[in-house]
Amino acid sequence: MVKKRTLFLLAGLIWSLAGGNVLKIGLQAYTNAFSVLNVGLTALVFFLFWTRVFHPLVGKHVIRIHGYEEEYKRPWNFFDKKSFLIMAFMMTFGIAIRVLNLMPDSFIAFFYTGLGTALAMAGILFLANYIGYDKKAVSEE
DSSP state of 103: S
CA 39/CA 46 separation, integer angstroms: 11
Look at phi and psi of residue 40 and say left if phi exceeds 0, alpha if psi is from -120 to 50, else beta: alpha
Domain coordinates of the chain in residue numbers?
2-136
Contact between 11 and 61 (Cβ < 8 Å): yes
Q: How many angstroms separate the Cα of 74 from the Cα of each of 47, 79, 84, 131?
A: 33, 11, 15, 20
Euclidean distance between the first and final Cα of the chain, in Å?
24
Question: Which band of pLDDT confidence, cut at 50, 70 and 90, is reported for residue 141?
Answer: very low
Which of 6, 53, 32, 21 is closest to 103 using CA atoms? 32
- Residue 4: pLDDT above 70? yes
CA 11/CA 116 separation, integer angstroms: 15
pLDDT digits (tens, 9 = 90+) for 21-67: 999 999 999 999 999 999 999 999 999 999 999 999 999 999 999 99
pTM over 0.95: no
pLDDT for 83 = 84
- Residue 5: pLDDT above 90? yes
pLDDT digits (tens, 9 = 90+) for 110-139: 999 999 999 999 999 999 999 998 776 544
Phi, psi of 72 (to 5 degrees): -115, 135
pLDDT for 136 = 64
